[in-house]
Amino acid sequence: MPQRIPSAAAPPPLRVVHDSDGVDLAAAELAAGQFLEALGITTDSESLRGTPGRMTRAYAELFSPRPFDLTTFPNDEGYDELVLARSIPLRSVCEHHLLPFVGTAHIGYLPGQRILGLSKLARVLEHFACRPQVQERLTKQVADWLQTHLEPKGVGVVIQAEHTCMTLRGVQAVGATTMTSTLLGLLRTDPRSRGEFLALTALPR
């Protein structure tokens, strides 16, 4: 008969909230209008009159992740195989040009004493994506945060994204995507676990 693993004591729920102190939408709207006018775009027509406000609200939304509770449950059955959420939609903004990058993330972990509500993998991704970012940092932030707060035996994050700062301007490499990965714990050091994770997150041929 399988041995039942004693439940780990339930930690208090962790409320994850974005710090919105210092946000001034009125000042941002004024600055947006001045920015457009400095580029030779007048905003006195009916079509463009509301653009500075819409622009401000759009960026405020892109930079404001929704709050969430980090919900975990005891791993009573001692599940020790990979848990993987594939193709989580991703949107963020390149901190160098403030242009969007969009794609998908694959996030997995090897459970320790507790397991995570699956939707929280997407919530953690959103929390770090809703700010000016670079993809390399975003990938590591998600992995490090899960390793710290969930204490699993291993964490893996793979992100594939298209950066409009690369496809719409500059080199204009339309269709190019960027891949980044971070592997921690057994998903980095154990060849079998590492191979399984990378095989399951591989791009379709």
Catalytic residue among 94, 113, 130, 196: 94
Catalytic residue among 126, 130, 133, 163: 163
Q: Catalytic: 147? A: no
Catalytic residue among 147, 149, 151, 165: 165
CA distance 184 to 125: 16
CA distance 138 to 143: 9
Catalytic residue among 113, 135, 141, 160: 135
Name, in order, each residue with C-beta under 8 angstroms of 1's C-beta and a sequence gap of 6 or more: none
Catalytic residue among 18, 97, 149, 151: 97
Q: Catalytic: 97? A: yes
Q: Catalytic: 130? A: no
Q: Catalytic: 34? A: no
Q: Catalytic: 127? A: no
φ and ψ at 35, to 5 degrees? Answer: -60, -45
CA distance 147 to 92: 22
Catalytic residue among 37, 61, 95, 136: 95
Catalytic residue among 34, 37, 77, 96: 96
For the chain, list the strands marked E by DSSP: 14-16, 68-70, 72-74, 83-94, 100-110, 114-116, 132-133, 154-163, 178-185
Residues labelled as active-site residues: 94-97, 135, 163, 165
